Structure 1
Amino acid sequence: MAFSKAPFRSTRAGVQVNLDDQEREILVHLLGQLDELLDDGRSPDQVDPLEALVGMRGTTDGAPPARPDDPALARLLPDGNRDDPEAASEYRRLTEFGLRERKRAGARTAATALNRPAPVVLDQAEALSLLKAFTDVRLVLGERLELKTDDDAESLHQRLWAGDEAESWLATASIYEVLTAWQEHLVTAVSKKR
């Protein structure tokens, strides 16, 4: 995908964001949706302090957290072992809370940075948070688009330009394509900064 100006550019001050206000607003909205998707519905006062400290989910009811019903959320919070349900359950108990919190914090960090007045320049931590959040948003969109294999991802572009799909699919696929291109530019900018 060609852009008149690189969406992200490495500078001495950090990674400069060259997205216009509307593009940044869309990206911030997607990051907010990611944060909401990862919310487990518990208020801070419902989280055991020890659980928060060590990043584990407590088992006050005697049961570890279940695998998410939403396939997109399951992609973000994968099973640690596909062949052993007991090991997968234990892995989820030990890692899910911390993983959710890290992903949510990263999305919030990126959204906060992108909400600053232009010109936006990301420091290294903000750029890496945005890079990880891009991956998470693309995983969710890929699941919604039913991209299961590399061949599915390869055919996305052809299906998008054929225009034979439902409008909602076309909109989601278009966003997925743009995010893919933006992520590639951000990777380049971050790698030049190091």
Structure 2
Amino acid sequence: MNPWRREGDEIVTEMERQEAAVLRAMVSQVSDMLLARAEEAPQDELTELTGIRTGPSTAPDDPILSRLLPDFHRLDDDKPATEDLDSAAALRSLHEPTLLDLKTGVAGVVLATCPPEGGEVRLNLEQADAWLSALNDVRLALGTALDVDENMPDELPDDDPRSGHLPVYHWLTLVQEELVHAMSL
């Protein structure tokens, strides 16, 4: 990974072909998951009349989607009250469509600005913010799939099925850290 650098109001780097391909594939996969979740939204007459969209009232079953779309209201794990369940469902239904729009929107910015064959990436500050959000979503998704936690070593044994994917997680972390650093200059 070539480091990001600041050139006036732009953030610039050069991506190798393989880096661009991996990043684009991962961003596309996360975006596809989010778009599939958006299609689960209930269709009702009120939405058609008012234009106010609602989303599913229940959390996703998929652990990756649950990590990307957390509850908007934390429930008491021991015994959630009926009012808490109703509040959590209502908040999810109201806010999840907006969150899905934001997450798929930042993925779209990455896909529009990351050249498929590699090469120069030149971002304005708004696009760089979108990259940070999309990179974070991809890292959350991959970290959930790999079961990354604070106790995970930097390298896994070769016989661990996650060992080939952990370096990608670390690379994404580096890309994100370098981008934050360049934006702060």
- Normalised TM-score (structure 1): 0.78
User: What corresponds to 1:33 in structure 2?
Assistant: 29
For residues 10-49 of structure 1, the aligned pairs below 5 Å read: 10-12=6-8, 14-39=10-35, 40=37, 42=39, 48=47
**In structure 2, what is the Cα distance between the partners aligned to 1:81 and 1:142?**
23
Q: Say whether residues 1:177 and 2:170 are aligned partners.
A: yes
Give percent identity, aligned residues only. 30
**Aligned counterparts, 1:1-194, within 5 A:** 5-6=2-3, 8-12=4-8, 14-39=10-35, 40=37, 42=39, 48=47, 54=52, 56-57=53-54, 64-83=56-75, 84-115=84-115, 118-147=119-148, 152-157=149-154, 160-166=155-161, 169-192=162-185
Mean CA deviation greater in 116-125 or 32-41: 116-125
SS at match of 1:86: helix
Instruction: Judge conservation of contact 1:28–1:114 (CA < 8 Å) in 2.
Output: yes
* 1:17-71 Cα deviation digits (max 9, x unpaired): 222122112111111111101013639xx694567x55x416xxxxx53210101
Over 3 Å counting, the alpha-carbon distance change for 1:124 and 1:50 in structure 2 is farther
Q: Which runs of 5+ in 1 are unaligned?
A: 59-63
- Counterpart CA distance in 2 for 1:50 and 1:110 is 34
The number of equivalent residue pairs is: 171
In structure 2, C-alpha distance between the alignment counterparts of 1:33 and 1:138, rounded to whole Å: 12
User: Match of 1:119, SS?
Assistant: strand
**Structure 1 vs Structure 2 CA RMSD:** 2.4
Offset, 1:145 = 1.2
Aligned mates of 1:185, 1:154 — CA distance in 2: 24
- The one-letter amino acid paired with 2:170 is E
Task: Supply the distance in 1 between the matched residues of 2:10 and 2:57 (Cα, whole angstroms).
Answer: 39
Cα 1:188–1:86 change in 2 (3 A) is same
Structure 1 position 161, deviation (Å)? 4.7
**Kept in 1: contact 2:59–2:71 (CA 8 A):** yes
Q: What per-residue deviation string (whole Å, max 9, x for no partner) do you get for residues 159-191 of structure 1?
A: x2543412xx11221211110111110110111
Distance 1:95 1:21, change over 3 A: same
**Bigger fraction of residues in helix:** 1
Looking at structure 2, the residues matched to 93 and 79 of structure 1 have their Cα atoms a distance apart, in angstroms, of 10
